[in-house]
């Protein structure tokens, strides 16, 4: 039986109507510049600053070693995300919907749900940090009201969809990059800041913990990079999608996190406040830019949360996904994430660090399976129509090989885990150096490859290239 994916005719160019459906070639308006601008602007926010501040603030690393750990972690993590991004122009579908090929039509909804929770967490986290940036300038402003206003901006952008988000990101990447650059230059010229960690000692535990945070920061993009690279014309090719994503993510992340290292050294308890303390009116202006830009950037986080929510809904309920469905899902998801942000305004940094660590362990096995399947097993050749078939087509409803590999890969990380709630028995002999992510990736990739090659459902000669 041949399955054809549903087709939607776009009637209003500015208002996205394709949602999780394959993007037709005629509507692939993305460019290398617009793609890079999305990834650059996504990292130009106070949440990235706060994450970088963890190195010098929470872990107490010297400034130089903090930057080295951040650079190394981002270089490693972004490589995986960029490989996922290279799939977008070829397949034209959202990243987590493609997981149906590895886990089955229903099995993939489990991972779409995990990704949905992750993006909701980031949406809420960005709201909280944006609020903190605004309160550092206007301390008398009501924090809950600030969260509500910032949320409304992100929801409004998400309602219109990809095109408006893309244009907004392009302009933001320029404005915020200038603000961060000026701040960075001034901070480097202030000895009272750069000398703050002169007596700090290098520790393997702190270095590898920060390296792991850099990795997970980049891998957190993996579940939605193709949500945007799918808008690149197919003849753009995987290399353009890879390098546009890789350079955009690494360059902006390391740059902004380095500013965070300096701010964390200057004020470990409240890194963002150091902008106003050391830069005066200019620092306050940068904080305002950060706060406003975060509200706009958050539309991207919500957009991908909605893509995953729609994937779960279509997988588990017999319903037709329409533009109205997407809009209402956007509003409801935005309201839920806003409620989480309002309720979670307390000990944010402790919760956020635990959130990042958990993300690393959950994403690693999925990433390994997706990359092995795409580049080694299937070599990029998928039948898109079968991904939308309720019986899963040749991919089935539940893929036991994919699900088993993921579960075992997740368990394989447990002995090496280092988290505030649980530390594995093999972590102490390794001086609490977190290598669970490396073990999880290599073990899961090898296991999936072996199991898949020994139990292929479809002979390789019958796999039809992407239409």
Number of structural domains the chain divides into? 1
* Position 415 in a domain: no
Nearest to 104 by CA among 427, 447, 422, 406: 406
Q: What distances in angstroms separate CA 240 from CA 71, 90, 229, one per listed residue?
A: 22, 12, 10
Chain centroid to Cα 406, Å, comes to 20
**What is the structure's pLDDT at 162?**
60
CA distance 419 to 57: 18
Query: Which residue range forms the structural domain that includes residue 250?
Result: 29-363
Q: Quick one: tokens of 78? A: 């972004």
**What is the structure's pLDDT at 403?**
95
For 432-448, give the DSSP string. Answer: T---HHHHHHHHHHHHH
The H or E element spanning position 302 is helix 281-316
- Region of 15 (left: φ > 0; alpha: ψ -120 to 50; beta: rest) is beta
**Cross-strand pairs, 418:** 423
**What is the structure's pLDDT at 2?**
45
Rounded to the nearest 10 degrees, the angle between the axes of helix 281-316 and helix 46-56 is 110
Query: 296, 182 in Cβ contact below 8 A?
Result: no
* Position 355 in a domain: yes
Q: With a cut of 50, which residues of the chain have pLDDT below it?
A: 1-13, 458-467
**What is the structure's pLDDT at 196?**
62
* Position 427 in a domain: no
CA distance 382 to 385: 9
Query: 330, 151 in Cβ contact below 8 A?
Result: no
* Position 431 in a domain: no
**What is the structure's pLDDT at 13?**
47
**What is the structure's pLDDT at 346?**
65
* Position 22 in a domain: no
**Where do we find the tokens 């990243």?**
95
Instruction: Using alpha carbons only, give the angle 441, 85, 2 rounded to the nearest 5 degrees.
Output: 95
CA atoms within 13 A on the CB side of 167: 8
* Position 318 in a domain: yes
Q: What distances in angstroms separate CA 101 from CA 191, 324, 362, 436, one per listed residue?
A: 55, 27, 19, 26
For 198-260, give the DSSP string. Answer: TT----HHHHHHHHHHHHHHHHTTGGGTHHHHTTS-GGG-HHHHHHHHHHHHHHHHHHHHHHH
CA distance 48 to 171: 19
* Position 159 in a domain: yes
Nearest to 95 by CA among 307, 301, 240: 307
* Position 79 in a domain: yes
CATH number at residue 120: 1.10.4160.10
CA distance 386 to 98: 11
């Amino acid at each position: 039986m041949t399955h054809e994916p549903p087709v939607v005719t776009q009637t209003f160019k500015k208002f996205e109507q394709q949602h999780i459906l394959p993007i037709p070639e005629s509507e692939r308006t993305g460019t290398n510049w617009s793609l890079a601008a999305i990834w650059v602007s996504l990292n130009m926010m106070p949440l990235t600053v706060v994450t970088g501040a963890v190195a010098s603030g929470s872990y107490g690393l010297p400034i130089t070693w903090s930057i080295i750990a951040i650079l190394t972690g981002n270089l490693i993590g972004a490589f995986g995300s960029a490989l996922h991004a290279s799939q977008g122009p070829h397949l034209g579908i959202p990243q987590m919907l493609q997981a149906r090929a590895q886990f089955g039509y229903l099995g993939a909804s489990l991972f779409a749900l995990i990704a949905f929770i992750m993006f909701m967490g980031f949406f809420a986290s960005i709201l909280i940090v944006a609020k903190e940036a605004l309160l550092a300038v206007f301390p008398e402003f009501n924090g809950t009201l600030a969260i509500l206003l910032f949320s409304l901006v992100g929801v409004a952008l998400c309602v219109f969809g990809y095109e408006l988000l893309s244009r907004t990101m392009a302009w933001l990447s320029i404005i915020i990059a200038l603000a961060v650059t000026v701040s960075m230059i001034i901070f480097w010229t202030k000895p009272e800041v750069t000398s703050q960690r002169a007596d700090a000692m290098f520790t393997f535990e702190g270095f590898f913990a920060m390296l792991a945070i850099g990795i997970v920061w980049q891998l957190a993009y993996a579940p939605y990079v193709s949500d945007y690279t799918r808008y690149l014309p197919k003849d753009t090719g995987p290399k353009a999608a890879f390098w546009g994503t890789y350079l955009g993510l690494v360059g902006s992340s390391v740059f902004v996190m380095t500013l965070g290292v300096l701010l964390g050294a200057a004020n470990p308890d409240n890194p963002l406040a150091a902008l106003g303390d050391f830069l005066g009116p200019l620092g306050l202006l940068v904080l305002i830019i950060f706060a406003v830009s975060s509200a706009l950037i958050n539309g991207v986080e919500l957009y991908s949360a909605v893509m995953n929510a729609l994937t779960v809904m279509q997988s588990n309920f017999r319903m037709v996904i329409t533009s109205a469905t997407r809009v209402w899902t956007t509003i409801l998801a935005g309201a839920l994430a806003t409620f989480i942000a309002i309720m979670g305004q307390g000990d944010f940094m402790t919760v956020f660090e635990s959130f990042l660590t958990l993300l690393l362990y959950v994403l690693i096995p999925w990433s390994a399976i997706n990359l092995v399947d795409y580049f080694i097993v299937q070599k990029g050749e998928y039948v898109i129509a079968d991904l939308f078939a309720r019986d899963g087509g040749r991919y089935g409803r539940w893929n036991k090989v994919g699900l088993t590999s993921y579960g075992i890969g997740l368990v394989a990380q447990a002995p090496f885990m280092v988290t505030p709630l649980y530390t594995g028995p093999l972590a102490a002999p390794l001086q609490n150096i977190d290598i669970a992510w490396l073990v999880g990736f290599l073990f899961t990739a090898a296991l999936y490859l072996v199991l898949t090659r020994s139990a292929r459902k479809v002979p390789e000669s019958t796999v039809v290239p992407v239409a």
